Amino acid sequence: MTGGSSRVLRFVQVDVFTDTLFGGNPLAVFLDGQGVSDREMQAIAREMNLSETTFVLPAERAEVSAVVRIFTPYRELPFAGHPTIGTAWTLLSEGLVDGSSGRIVLGEGIGPVPVRFEGDAADPSFLWMDQSVARFETPTIATSELAYALGLSAADLIPELPIELGTTGVPFLYVPLGDPAAVDRVEVRVAELRACVAKAGVESLGVVIFAPAAAVNEVYTRMLAPGGGGVLEDPATGSASGPLGAYLVRHRLAIGEGVVEMLSRQGVAMGRPSEVHIRVELEAGQAGRVEVGGRVVPVLRGKLYLP
């Protein structure tokens, strides 16, 4: 029953950074966003009530396969990782882009984002998203204040490792903890955490808390979003994982030669376990080009009706 609606929007919902149904980070991909206003896109994203919802638009340049707009329930983002991976997989599996070269390019708010894939173009088994070289700075945040805002003590943080602000397009605050149990113990005091991240100069800053795991080059991770965007914690965050990999290389928490490969296990505490793969190329021993990758599982297809 359409209720007299005149527009029908098709969408596909997928789980990203997982090979298991109902794991990873869910994403709704609207296959044709032409004629949908900004206000309508935002309203639809709020209706879907997922971490992000994407809208696909025709490419404006020959080197771009499609334009993608990304919305949380409360605002538009210039770039995000799991929407990039999930939208690329959906466009390929729906046959809406040419995957004959083994890669596509999505036009996002930060510019063109290349995505390469493994397996058949109609059913990619694994996708890798390019990210720029990570940039870091040290914000002025008192360790004791941040620990309190996370429901921890200063002893739960690793004193010899810095709290850093890192970005490959979207900034995040990186907070190293001593062990995975400390990561699980975090209970956010929202007002206090917002006050801490405001000191970093970015109102909507996400906070990545992580600890080395038992396996080599593996970390246990949570991503908190106290900035009021409607999603307090994210089960899998590709845009945060690129700088995380660079941080691990910078501070010798991950080792390798040529290309350092890492795994971030995120979303476990939320009941949506995710596996985010990270590759960092070494340039003169320093972290250079970054790739973030993972798998995608289809969940459902649907139609949304607009007047």
Q: Using CA atoms, how far apart are residues 241 and 265, in angstroms rounded to an integer?
A: 10
Mean pLDDT to the nearest integer, 263-286: 95
* Backbone torsions φ then ψ of 91, nearest 5 degrees: -60, -40
pTM of the model as a whole: 0.94
CA triple 119-121-126, angle to 5 deg = 40
Confidence of residue 228 (pLDDT cuts 50, 70, 90): low
Domains located in the chain, CATH noted: 7-122+296-306 (3.10.310.10), 135-294 (3.10.310.10)
pLDDT digits (tens, 9 = 90+) for 67-126: 999 999 999 999 999 999 999 999 999 999 999 999 999 999 999 999 999 999 999 999
Q: Using CA atoms, how far apart are residues 123 and 117, in angstroms rounded to an integer?
A: 10
* Backbone torsions φ then ψ of 78, nearest 5 degrees: -75, -20
Phi-psi region for residue 151, left (φ > 0), alpha (ψ -120 to 50) or beta? left
pLDDT digits (tens, 9 = 90+) for 242-260: 999 999 999 999 999 999 9
CA triple 110-112-118, angle to 5 deg = 125
Looking at residue 5, what is its pLDDT?
A: 61
Q: Is 118 a catalytic residue?
A: no
Does residue 208 have a pLDDT over 80?
Answer: yes
Give me the catalytic one of 40, 47, 52, 203: 52
How many C-beta atoms surround the C-beta of residue 176 within 10 A? 23
Mean pLDDT to the nearest integer, 166-185: 94
